[in-house]
Amino acid sequence: MTSAVMMSPPSAVAYVVSQDLVKHCSRLPSNVGRSILVHSLVDSLGLFSNSSSSAPDSAARRRIQIINPKRASYKDLAAYHSRDYLEFVLSPWGTSNHDQHHDRELNSSNPRDLPNGRQNIDNEHEAEAFGLIDDCPIFEGMSDYIQLVAGATLTAANALKVGAIDIAICWDGGRHHAQKSRASGFCYVADCVLAILLLKRAPPLLSTLKATTSSIVPPDSSLSLFTPPRSEPSATSDDVFHVPGVDGLDRTGTGPTLPSQPSSYDTTDVKISTSISSPQIMIASPRTKSRVMYLDLDIHFGDGVAQAFYSPQNDKPNGSRNNRQVLTLSIHHTSPGFFPSSPLGGVPRFPEKNTEEMIPGPTRTSFNSATTVSDPYTLSIPLLPGAGCSTYASVWLDIVERVRNAFEPDYLVVQCGVDGLSGDGKIKVGNWSLGGRVSKRRSERREGSENENVDTKELETENEHEDLELEEGSLGWCISRIVNHWPGKKLFLGGGGYNHPNAARAWAFLTSVIAGNPLPLSTPIPHNLSGEPDEPFQFFPAFAPSFTLDVPPGNMRDMNTEEFLGSVKKAFEGVYKVLEDGKQI
């Protein structure tokens, strides 16, 4: 056996954004103006310049590298979507290159109003068959949106596949309800599925024997900022983001080539990778194929992704093993009538037996026969109303991390939907928070100090350490666990979130956590653009009344009792051995 010594490459976070992506995502009917709000806040907080340091050790930061996405081609989309669906949604009438007459027609969600000879009842039925009605209406620039969102997520995934990038972010991705031949649940393209399919073709990563802190590079003063438009978020605004090229993977703005062939690994080498903190020994993986784990944190079950990789044959001991490369796990709310209705959204039924009497609450009743059980690689953790930090901490430590450890993925795709956060006006069933009760107590003390004329500077100094603490089970804590404690390359995507200022807060904060430079949750929303003190932050009023970064928990009662959570955990006991055994194949 030969050996070689290899230094770890500089660690960077690929952040996918472009002017076209933001413009078209800001026209999405379910989230008009959200995209521009998210990226404007990230920029105004100075995260693109790595200048807002509150971390005790600046060496712990990762450089954020902006990458402009490449549009997904028909071939890229056809890796999953059906031909009929793509031909319909990518038709010329679905682009934004129209005269004013066509623009007026496209502003209508009625398929009868479609231009270019499509004004007939047959196309209305066809549009309905493809799900382009109700929650997924046809809108101006729809085909551009589909290609840009899919291309953005594929660009992020490809950066992990071909470059010296360990982490990538695409907050405009995460459309987890889209089906192979149908739009669903505000989702027009299955970008999560396309990313997983791409990463399945990537080479397996090196197995780490001793985990250490990721390789770090100091802030790069040459990184450029982009200037957000000076207007309120609008579905039809032509104002754009200016995203200059940055050093590294993409200077041209075209993004990495999609897709590319995986590079070959010499599996006989033992490599030693050195980071700033301590060395880690890495042995080339004996696997011939990579493993991809999809983790869905949205309040809604990720039915589109689960269905794409669900295989009934995995129920049988001698069944097909093709899907052992991919594992999907969704943590979500469940109740009668709550979207989506899917038999895959209940607790697992493994090993093979009818356990309906053991599991209170929602179950996969369609899988209760004596001959059919659930696929142990398509998993779900259904939660009751009011799920907060304590509930998420319980299932995270006792289920999520056990699943990850048993499966040992090379790549992780994390859908970070934030509609389960407290204060989401459309969903109203979750009580999750960015930092938990720690941040809420800190905020209450700060308000009390103002009423009592206490020196707030002294208070902030005393609580500087606490200001960066996160309660177990908070969204920030979960993402920190993935970034800092889970091996493998990670892709972070957006998802649901209908309180747009809170979605911007959440993804801006998570960007700082992922970059190894977590901002205090008491950070005030900036009045001005980062690096431009004379330029006001256009969207500052949207963050009233708190004008801080935090999204604290509310007062909703958590209905997930210890008994209920215990029954969910018990349902998973048969899964871990199957996953462990699968690693030997």
pLDDT digits (tens, 9 = 90+) for 128-152: 999 999 999 999 999 999 999 999 9
More confident residue, 373 or 16: 16
Residue 513 zone, left/alpha/beta (φ > 0; ψ -120 to 50; rest): alpha
Q: Residue 23 in 3-state DSSP?
A: helix
The token duo for 85 is 């669906």
Indicate whether 389 pLDDT > 60.
yes
Mean pLDDT of 457-468: 49
Task: Give the dihedral sign, CA 392/395/397/400.
Answer: negative
The confidence score (pLDDT) of residue 287 equals 77
Summarize pLDDT for 14-33 with one digit per residue, the tens: 999 999 999 999 999 999 99
Higher pLDDT, 405 or 468: 405
Q: Where is average pLDDT lowest: 9-13, 197-201, 241-245, 463-467?
A: 241-245
Provide mean pLDDT across the span 228-237: 42
Read off the pLDDT band of 373 (50, 70, 90): very low
- What is the arithmetic mean of pLDDT over 405-430? 95
Please say whether the beta carbons of 89 and 188 come within 8 A.
Answer: yes
Task: Using the predicted structure, report yes or no on whether residue 457 has a pLDDT greater than 90.
Answer: no
Over residues 337-366, mean pLDDT? 65
438 confidence band (pLDDT: 50, 70, 90): low
Higher-confidence residue: 466 or 289? 289
Q: Which of 19-23, 372-376, 570-574 has the lowest mean pLDDT?
A: 372-376
11 has pLDDT over 70: yes
**Residue 249: pLDDT above 50?**
no
Give the pLDDT band of residue 363 (cuts 50, 70, 90).
very low
pLDDT of residue 219: 32
Are 525 and 540 a contacting pair, CB within 8 Å?
yes
Would you state the pLDDT for residue 308? 96
Q: State the residue for tokens 């609450």.
A: 361
Helices (H), 51-168: 74-77, 83-89, 100-106, 121-129, 142-162
Please provide the size of the chain in residues: 585
CA distances from 535 to 53, 394, 524, 532, 539 (A): 21, 45, 17, 5, 12
Would you state the structure tokens that stand for residue 405, as one six-digit string? 């450890």
Q: Is the pLDDT of residue 364 over 90?
A: no
Whether the predicted pLDDT of 355 surpasses 90? no
198 or 362, which is more confident:
198
Q: Rounded to whole angstroms, how far apart are CA atoms 85 and 78?
A: 10
Give Cβ neighbours of residue 297 (< 8 Å, ≥ 6 apart): 331, 414, 415, 416, 417, 420, 475, 478, 495
Mean pLDDT for the chain overall: 77
pLDDT band at 218 (very low <50, low <70, confident <90, very high): very low
- pLDDT surpasses 80 at 462: no
pLDDT of residue 492: 98
Higher per-residue pLDDT: 243 or 559: 559
Asked if the model's pLDDT at residue 394 lies above 70, the reply is yes
Q: What is the pLDDT of residues 91-128, one digit of tens each?
A: 876 566 543 433 443 344 444 444 444 444 467 888 99
Measured between alpha carbons, how far is 536 from 548 in angstroms, rounded to an integer? 16
What percentage of the chain exceeds 90 in pLDDT?
A: 56
Name the pTM for this structure: 0.79
Q: Is 428 left (phi over 0), alpha (psi -120 to 50) or beta?
A: left
Question: What is the Cα 150 distance to its own chain's centre?
Answer: 13
Residue 357 or 581, more confident: 581
Sheet holding 63-67, edge to edge: 63-67, 12-16, 167-170, 489-493, 411-415, 292-296, 326-333, 378-383
Confidence category of residue 82, pLDDT binned at 50, 70, 90: very high
Set out the domains of the chain in order of their start, with CATH numbers.
Answer: 13-50+61-92+123-202+289-309+323-351+373-437+467-582 (3.40.800.20)
**Whole-angstrom Cα distance, residue 456 to residue 447?**
10
Q: What is the mean pLDDT of residues 445-462?
A: 50
Where do we find the tokens 């998802």? 495
Q: How do residues 518-562 score in pLDDT, each as one tens digit?
A: 999 999 999 988 878 888 999 999 999 999 999 999 999 999 999
Residue 347 has pLDDT above 80, yes or no: yes
